Structure 1
Amino acid sequence: MTTTPSNSPLAPPPGCPAHRVGPIGPGGVRRLYGPEAEADPIGLYNKLRAEHGAVAPVLVHGDLPAWLVLGYAENLEVMRTPSRFSRDSRRWRELQEGRVPMDSPLLPVVAWQPLCVFADGEEHERLRAAVTESMGRFDRRGIRRYVVRFANQLVDGFAADGKAELVEQFAEHLPMLTLTQLLGMPDEYGPRLVQAARDMVKGTETAIASNEYVMKTLRQLVVAKRALPGSDFASWLLEHRAGLSDDEAAEHLRLVLITAYETTANLIANTLLMVLTDPRFRASLAGGHMTLPDAVEQVLWDAPPFSRVYGRWATGNAEFADQKIKSGDLMILGLAAGNIDPAIRPDLSVPVHGNRSHLSFSSGPHECPGQDIGRAIADTGIDALLARLPDLELAVPEDQLHWESSLLSRRLVAVPVEFTPREPEPELFGESLVMPAPPVAPRYPMPEPPREEMPTPSSFSHRVATRCRSLLRWLRKR
């Protein structure tokens, strides 16, 4: 069963015709949204490839036209040529001409913001350098020690039960617990941010307030790190020669935190499922022929954390992959579709054996800067889990598992497992980890994380509306 929660910020509002749309829209163009598209996205990609080739016309929410890039080589070309395909969403012709409603579920994903992911040229280089060079200062062995510590603490929470649900109890917690440490937050911030981030990406009725909570916490972090910097990502971002303002720093911290959280949680869940169910992995892992990092790369080919990305915008009229692209057209990167392009993978049953040339982390100027951190969290965390619970088995038939779809991804809802109950071992895996603990920054006089005074959805709606009005003013001046 594939569902998109009706209260998700990425889903159409209740009563919207999108809830009852069919697979084919005006002009015979296939819709990239709706129940049929979400139930079998791979099937849809195959139909589009057969009908149109490497680049296919599609309709997105509101029946707005776009192009879905299906070919592997074509995705790389769009990713690597910003002169032809810009990341600046203000170029979107449908938005310029007023055809995108203010309540469109696309706007939270594509509305322009002063972030490196929406910039090209010198501004992109300035902002991205601050992110990538700050990330480059991490000690990779230190990251893995954090992951081992938190993974084992999570396992201690259910080891004695003999059963667990690994998405909710493991995959969704481990990335955020690790990331809050890397950003320079005290331990006590981790659990509350996990709750807020999970709430955001699942699109619950309190998702907007959770987003405000995350931003308020990050703004407090920026203030604290300005006053007393440490050896952490937030401090390095603030002291970088790019000279980020407090607002720029907070927005980029949120970008890193939420993007890394969502992709890594999906990667962990998908890798766990494949390790538990795919005969290639079970046989190879048992026989010692495939390492866990190799398994992670296989998952990145077959089930990328983000299945597609909105987007790029054509900078001019051009012919591309036998399609006539017009200036301002929306190009959607088909990461999952490109990864299964028959031109490069004629037989999907053949293992990739650690090949890292997939599209899951994009390519070109906007390639994901934190991909190795995501890999480290996933393979180290799963390795720690399997070491503690070596007889881990799926507790239900594979065909009873469920997924949720959104604009960007297809998320595994739950991975129920069973195993031989074991006593927790906090003396080994808690604060007194046998392995030397990573350097811990001194405690900062940080404000207590807000708990009761959660902002109302209306405050966020006002902020989004203000940004959209600013965007429209910018478009009218062009």
Structure 2
Amino acid sequence: MTDTSEHSRAEGLSTPPPQCPASKLGLGPGPGGRTRLYGPEAEADPYGLYERLREEHGSVAPVLLSGDLPAWLVLGYRENLDVTRTPSRFSRDPRLWTETREGRVPPDHPLLPVVTWQPMMSFVDGEQHERWRGAVNDSIARFDRRGIRRHVTQCANQLVDRFCATGHADLVHQFAEHLPMMAMTQLLGMPEEYSPQLVNAARDMLRGTETAIASNEFVQETLRKLVARKHAQPGADFTTWLLEHPAGLTDDEVQQHLRLVLIAAFETTANLIANTLKMVLTDVRFQASLAGGHMTLPDAVEQVLWDEPPFLTVLGRWAAQDTELAGKQIKAGDALVLGLAAGNVDTVVRPDLDAPIHGNRAHLAFSGGAHECPGQDVGRAIASTGIDALLLRLPDLALAVEESELYYRSSLLSRHLIELPVKFTAHEPTPLELTVGAPSADQPSEVVQPMAPAVPSGQAPKNRTSWWKSLRNLFRRR
């Protein structure tokens, strides 16, 4: 690792929780006594900040977004579900936001890419939401699950081939960040060469940097060209299926939903892969459960989704009327931030945070209610298949630094590992014939069938996966 503590503070990096008490971070109140959710101090220890706010305010806390715009952070598990399940009180339409209507959100505000109303399902409720959501759900259901896994395995092997001869790698930049975008560009029907540029643009947008608006425009222009191309050259891909859906989406509506799916799938899956791999290599609870045969791949993934959800928060609810939430008086037009990470560690639902959770999918990682993430099973498939392929190729994988040397970068929305340095026995790349068999972006699979149903909550699959067997062998050798 090359990060010094001074460099880390400047870049808003942090180590995993638990960390230093929030009281030592210098988190002073902003205007109106509200706590800022942005800036180096808040980004250094988001989990510590959530707990301090919970102690001071309970399940709902008054906070400030970038530019000192007021909002409410929902910290309680039950309160998060209440907000997501009652659209009559808490709407997804950002045009209700008082700060926007009264002209206090400047045109260059870094959060504009995620709060500007666009014609897509995440910004509407009711019949319009059902129409757009139905088109997305139907199109996702047409994916061939086996075809996805074949393609992800091929992509994972291609990535491993790039570094396997060196004996060392950074699994964030060389694997976790690239695999989801490689998979999603194929599923959307895009040329694979777009993948690296889209990774950079997506990260920049979600961090809310000064260039977030420009990055958003790059993504939008890329997708505009994709929609135009699919009109002329339709295929067995998500873009074509949206264009052809009976709901009759316009080109702009298709484009906006492609952006939504692409960005959400990238961020959640990249973080899920990185955090799961970190747990595999460092978490004592996991190693003990694995050694005893008590944890499987689905268990490991769900544990990560509870402990370190890919999105810390989601800015996306606005009060449709004056209302009350956890004793706080919420005014019509107020913004609410869903505290997914905070809700997941609420002692109301998890009285013992150290106890492992086996197969329980009741977490908030994919939000809840009618707007719950529609592509979560695709993300799980990409993550589990990619990890499977990686560990089969690198069975003696080990962390190359001390766990205390792992750093995170946090923003309002997400928190992700900066690096995950590993070492392993170097070997030559896999022969080509072992990595082929998945359709390319130009020749997607024509086999279209509904995805297999998810494993019910609390139930493990009947057969152990090769991933599980590889990990058991890995820990037996240690």
Indicate the TM-score class for this superposition, using the shorter chain for normalisation: 0.7 to 0.9
The Cα shift of 1:195 comes to 5.0
- Which residue type is aligned with residue 235 of structure 1? T
- 1:307-331: per-residue Cα shift (whole Å, max 9, x none)? 0010211111122211111111111
Structure 1: how far apart are the matches of 2:146 and 2:283? 30
Partner of 2:102: 97
Over the matched positions of the two proteins, sequence identity in percent amounts to 68
Partner of 2:314: 309
Structure 1 stretches of 5 or more lacking a match? 7-19, 444-478
TM-score of the superposition, structure 1-length normalised?
A: 0.84
SS at match of 2:364: coil
Partner of 1:339: 344
SS at match of 1:51: helix
Question: 1:281 aligned to 2:252?
Answer: no
Q: Which sits farther off after the overlay, 40-49 or 304-313?
A: 40-49
SS at match of 1:56: strand
Partner of 1:406: 411
For residue 368 of structure 1, the aligned residue among 373, 379, 399 is: 373
Structure 1: how far apart are the matches of 2:209 and 2:48? 28
> Is the 8 Å Cα contact of residues 299 and 358 (structure 2) preserved in structure 1?
yes
SS at match of 1:411: strand
> Is the 8 Å Cα contact of residues 151 and 174 (structure 1) preserved in structure 2?
yes
Partner of 1:295: 300
- Which residue type is aligned with residue 117 of structure 1? S
For residue 388 of structure 1, the aligned residue among 384, 390, 393 is: 393
TM-score of the superposition, structure 2-length normalised?
A: 0.84
Q: How many equivalent residue pairs? A: 426
Structure 1: how far apart are the matches of 2:300 and 2:418? 21
> Is the 8 Å Cα contact of residues 392 and 417 (structure 1) preserved in structure 2?
yes
- 1:277-309: per-residue Cα shift (whole Å, max 9, x none)? 001222333443211221110000000000001
The Cα shift of 1:442 comes to 4.3
- 1:175-228: per-residue Cα shift (whole Å, max 9, x none)? 011111111124444445445545555667766554433323322221222123
Structure 2: how far apart are the matches of 1:297 and 1:332? 23
> Is the 8 Å Cα contact of residues 91 and 317 (structure 2) preserved in structure 1?
yes
Question: Once superposed, which parts of structure 1, at least 4 consecutive aligned residues long, lie more than 6 Å away?
Answer: 203-206
Question: 1:46 aligned to 2:46?
Answer: no
Partner of 1:80: 85
Q: CA RMSD in A?
A: 2.2
Partner of 2:447: none
Partner of 2:266: 261
Question: 1:422 aligned to 2:427?
Answer: yes
The Cα shift of 1:106 comes to 2.6
Partner of 1:160: 165
Q: Which sits farther off after the overlay, 233-242 or 30-39?
A: 30-39
Structure 2: how far apart are the matches of 1:215 and 1:168? 24
- Which residue type is aligned with residue 311 of structure 2? F
> Is the 8 Å Cα contact of residues 110 and 209 (structure 2) preserved in structure 1?
no
SS at match of 1:159: coil
Partner of 1:473: none
For residue 122 of structure 1, the aligned residue among 123, 127, 138 is: 127
The Cα shift of 1:168 comes to 0.4
Instruction: Call closer, same or farther: CA 1:420–1:212 in 2, change over 3 Å.
Output: same
Instruction: Call closer, same or farther: CA 1:364–1:239 in 2, change over 3 Å.
Output: same
The Cα shift of 1:4 comes to 7.8
- Which residue type is aligned with residue 152 of structure 1? N
> Is the 8 Å Cα contact of residues 163 and 417 (structure 1) preserved in structure 2?
yes
> Is the 8 Å Cα contact of residues 167 and 427 (structure 2) preserved in structure 1?
yes
For residue 24 of structure 1, the aligned residue among 20, 25, 29 is: 29
- Which residue type is aligned with residue 154 of structure 1? L
Structure 1: how far apart are the matches of 2:39 and 2:215? 26
Instruction: Call closer, same or farther: CA 1:187–1:90 in 2, change over 3 Å.
Output: closer
> Is the 8 Å Cα contact of residues 120 and 132 (structure 2) preserved in structure 1?
yes
> Is the 8 Å Cα contact of residues 172 and 265 (structure 1) preserved in structure 2?
yes
Structure 1: how far apart are the matches of 2:200 and 2:431? 23
Partner of 1:242: 247
Partner of 1:223: 228
Instruction: Call closer, same or farther: CA 1:299–1:180 in 2, change over 3 Å.
Output: same
Partner of 1:319: 324
The Cα shift of 1:109 comes to 2.0
Structure 2: how far apart are the matches of 1:189 and 1:103? 26
Partner of 2:459: none
SS at match of 1:161: coil
Partner of 2:462: none
Structure 1: how far apart are the matches of 2:143 and 2:166? 36
- Which residue type is aligned with residue 159 of structure 2? L
> Is the 8 Å Cα contact of residues 317 and 337 (structure 2) preserved in structure 1?
yes
The Cα shift of 1:100 comes to 2.4
